[in-house]
A and B are shown apart, each in its own frame.
Chain A
């Protein structure tokens, strides 16, 4: 009998017990990630691979997807970006930084479909284009913005 498995089954959906198992290193969140279809996209070191990992293909430019960001970021460690999607039924949004060691910064899914605006702060290694890729009705749309970085925020 596998004891770890027993404990886990007894614990059921008890989050606290799960947390302690995580803390004890018995369950590594990395394993959860292993089953993740987007893992390849997150680990991709090139923009093309990251887009392929998201199965975004070549997304179309859309005027209804707006990416607001500064033109010049003095500090690459904190670059505020804002994405407004006026495309009806936007179900997911990814933000990518072309020249970062790992281009895919974040991917969010909107299950209710009612999210119109997303704000986040990114780290940027150097001057780069930032893209927002939105998915709506099975199609992908992209908006991009070039940001000049004075001091990089990845290596330090």
Chain B
């Protein structure tokens, strides 16, 4: 199981500024290891974010997203105390879900 995500969600006015750091190697399948063998592709393929029970972001990633991906989204219509749940699934079928609550900024 992958390391927990680091999530921060701050409220500015009615907009939640959600930032997340996911721990993942995000192998592209194009890199070679020390022995000159190709490292197989292994990357996060799907992400989703729900705010107060409503899905606000559903994303698909490709190999061009950096290692340990960082994402930020500003979502309108949020209030303090709203629950933020973030979920990802990678190409090996590993997945992880973490959550936090929106804090007044």
Chain A residues in contact with chain B, CB under 8 A?
A: 15, 19, 22-23, 25, 27-30, 33, 36, 38, 42, 77-80, 82, 97, 100-112, 114-124, 153-156
Contacts and interface: CB of A to CB of B under 8 A. Distances in A.
B28 A115 contact: no
B31 A105 contact: no
Interface of B: 15, 19, 26, 28, 30-32, 45, 47, 51, 54-67, 69-77, 89-95
Contacts of A100: 64
Contacts of A122: 64-66
B93 A19 contact: yes
A77 B66 contact: yes
A112 B74 CA distance: 12
Contact of A121 (B55, B66, B92, B94): B66
Contact of A118 (B51, B55, B71, B77): B71
Task: State the majority secondary structure of interface residues on B.
Answer: strand
Given A115-B74, A121-B65, A107 B93 contact: no
A110 B65 CA distance: 19
Contacts of A102: 62-64
B76 A123 contact: no
A110 B57 contact: yes
B45 A33 contact: yes
A29 B28 CA distance: 17
Contacts of A107: 59-60
Contact of A112 (B54, B72, B92): B54
B74 A106 contact: no
Nearest to B93: A22
A119 B60 contact: no
Given A23-B93, A112-B77, A123 B58 contact: no
A118 B47 CA distance: 14
Contacts of B69: 120-121
A111 B64 contact: no
Nearest to A21: B93
14 contacts: A19-B95, A22-B92, A23-B92, A27-B93, A80-B70, A82-B72, A100-B64, A101-B28, A109-B58, A114-B75, A121-B70, A123-B28, A123-B67, A154-B30
